[in-house]
Amino acid sequence: MSGFTGFIGETENSEQIVQDMLAKIKHRGPDEQGVFVTEDIALGFCGNQLVHDEAGHQSFSSEDGLKEIIFIGEIYNQDVLRKALQQEGVTCTTKATSEVVLKAYEQWGPAAVKKLRGAFIILIWHKDTKTMFAARDMFGVQPFYYSQVGNTLLLSSEIKSFLAYPHFKKELNEQALKPYLTFQFPVLQETFFKNVFKFPAAHYAFIKDNKVTTTRYWSVKFEPVALPLEHFVDEIDATVRESVEAHSKADVPIGSFLSSGVDSSYVVAVAKPAKTFTVGFDSKIFSEIESAEALSEEVGIEHISTIMDGQTCIDALGDIQYMMDEPHSNPSIVPLYFLAKLAREHVKVVYSGEGADEFFGGYAEYNDSPTMRKYKKVPKILRSAAAGVAKQLPAGAKGKSFLMRGGLPVEQTFHGQAHIFDESEAAAILRPRFQEAPTVEDITKPIYDTLKGEDDTTKKQVLDFHLWMVDDILLKADKMTMAHGLEVRTPLLDGELLKVAERLPLEYRVNDIDTKYAFREASRHALPEEWVKRKKLGFPVPIRVWLQEEAFFTTVKKAFESEYAAQFFDQNKIMKLLVDHYKGEAQNQRKIWSVYMFLVWYEQYFLKN
């Protein structure tokens, strides 16, 4: 993609400061860099040049000279927008994406963002009123942060650029740690840096006098339509093919990430990219290379892969957490970092398969297991009573999760695709001042409250849209690819494809046969049979094994016993987690990893940087 940084408000030596801030994120786009500076505002931007003769892709001035746009990202329906503008008497004179977006805004106002198909951040400065119009894409592909510092408002694609602003005060948000230990990613709108906030996906704002008041312009809404399965299968396939074509605009070769799962395989089979890329580990249970090689050979595409060793991955953890901006403990960020590095040695842009699981019901948690279906035939009053008893059992007790999921409302048992520490467990290992933080219910209830009367699967999908997809899946995809200046395009995460998914009946999403059922059936139009039913491993990482090896155990032990860890954690309790796992008495790898990733991040930003 690309990136931006800067500030609104008079600042002495503003041009040099914005250049220093831009240097912090230059990895996001080495081909094109620029700044826009007046006495009231300073913005810098960077990006890759993917289309020839597209000067001004990221910045453009209005014809009357009163507005300046900084555009970050890609728009995939530019031709449609240009024609619509032409029909209303508005002509675009260049190939620049920024010109199209600016003129769409001038013609249609804030409603223009609803017409955009793509991944973007829009910043339009009104010079006469000293007002900024800002918007973020509907899914949250592009990150966007802001922070009030005195009379100045900082804005950026990455928090790290704020460190170059002389008056920025770096301070830990103590309320962020406890929810992170449950969700595995930074889930609050206020980030781990106090007074630094995320600009929410699918929102726009008019910023004046440094006040940021956002307005939601889009929400996902599943409204099933009773049509035959065959209708949806054909429509999904046709829309996937059209989306791939729309996402293919570039004058440079496009590669593709490729796993063993149906999503990336479908994209590769349709797109026929220049090359495919996969990384893995020595053990076959931690590698998707063999499957990726087989599909690439089947469709006649050059495949490039590499086997990673544990020590190389462990040595890179500091750099990875620095690039993430906030602590993130999804282990898949590690192979994704190295996969992006590998791909960038060959191409500037790749396809990836994000989106289909949330759109079409792909996660196992969206469907009941055969055992759970049988259990739910037991009278509800009995299941509710059993769940009440189960709630009192210790965390991790055998059968506790099953009984609770079988007897309690989904609002009480599902908060996303990751569940590392129960809230009580997280509180128990934290120092008292970190225990006072938003609860899981505080975070999920506002979303669930909008879903009264929906089925459980739909509730889970929509919750994941708002939390998991934005702040885990898409955040790590952006930060790990941009760490190497690699643009990632996601044809399955597309507004036109979502319109199909929103009309899909529940039984075509999940059923007794499979998850993501209609989507898998559609993929038969492009894939060999054996790939249709394959389950992706999801970048498996052998952290369980690493933590039972002396070298990594010793590294983590040193961090857990450090003076800075003592600020946050009860060290006896986190050491017990580590030692029990090392001795093979428990499988605590995800809990240990989450604590350790926070400490690695803290060391990068508060001890070293």
pLDDT computed for residue 204 by the predictor: 98
- Contact criterion met (CB below 8 Å) for 517 and 509: yes
Q: Quick one: tokens of 590?
A: 């995800």
CATH fold of 2-216: Glutamine Phosphoribosylpyrophosphate, subunit 1, domain 1 (3.60.20)
Nearest C-alpha neighbor of 26 from the set 42, 4, 8:
4
pLDDT computed for residue 537 by the predictor: 62
Q: Percentage of residues in the chain with pLDDT exceeding 90?
A: 87
Confidence label for 507 from pLDDT (cuts 50, 70 and 90): very high
- Contact criterion met (CB below 8 Å) for 438 and 182: no
Of 90 and 54, the structure prediction assigns the larger pLDDT to 90
Q: C-alpha 90: how far from its chain's center?
A: 36
pLDDT computed for residue 429 by the predictor: 98
- What is the C-alpha separation between 195 and 149, in angstroms, rounded? 9
Mean pLDDT, range 521-529, rounded to an integer:
93
Q: Quick one: tokens of 542?
A: 């052998």
- What is the C-alpha separation between 490 and 467, in angstroms, rounded? 18
Cβ burial, residue 584 (10 Å; 0-12/13-18/19+)? exposed
Q: Tell me, what DSSP letter sits at residue 3?
A: E
- What is the C-alpha separation between 557 and 457, in angstroms, rounded? 41
CATH 3.60.20.10 domain range(s) in the chain: 2-216
- What is the C-alpha separation between 514 and 376, in angstroms, rounded? 19
For the cut 80, the answer to whether the pLDDT of residue 536 exceeds it is: no
| DSSP, residue by residue, 74-141 | EES-HHHHHHHHHHTT----SS-HHHHHHHHHHHHGGGGGGG--EEEEEEEEETTTTEEEEEE-SS--
- Contact criterion met (CB below 8 Å) for 83 and 64: no
End-to-end CA distance of the chain: 26
For the cut 80, the answer to whether the pLDDT of residue 126 exceeds it is: yes
Q: Tell me, what DSSP letter sits at residue 455?
A: -
Nearest C-alpha neighbor of 390 from the set 372, 408, 377, 374:
408
- Where do the DSSP E strands lie in 329-404? 349-351
The mean predicted confidence, pLDDT, of the chain is 94
pLDDT computed for residue 54 by the predictor: 54
Confidence label for 209 from pLDDT (cuts 50, 70 and 90): very high
pLDDT computed for residue 513 by the predictor: 92
Q: Quick one: tokens of 337?
A: 């970092």
Sequence-distant (≥ 6) Cβ neighbours of residue 529 within 8 angstroms: none
Mean pLDDT, range 471-496, rounded to an integer:
97
pLDDT in tens, 112-121: 999 999 999 9
Mean pLDDT, range 398-418, rounded to an integer:
93
What is the value of pTM for the model shown?
A: 0.95
For the cut 90, the answer to whether the pLDDT of residue 1 exceeds it is: no
pLDDT computed for residue 10 by the predictor: 83
pLDDT in tens, 537-557: 666 789 999 999 999 999 999
- What is the C-alpha separation between 256 and 486, in angstroms, rounded? 11
pLDDT computed for residue 282 by the predictor: 76
- What is the C-alpha separation between 465 and 211, in angstroms, rounded? 27
pLDDT computed for residue 386 by the predictor: 95
Which CATH architecture is the domain 229-361+467-532 placed in? 3-Layer(aba) Sandwich (3.40)
For the cut 80, the answer to whether the pLDDT of residue 426 exceeds it is: yes
- Report phi then psi at 275, rounded to 5: -150, 155
Q: How many CB atoms lie within 10 A of CB 410?
A: 18
CATH 3.40.50.620 domain range(s) in the chain: 229-361+467-532
Mean pLDDT, range 63-67, rounded to an integer:
94
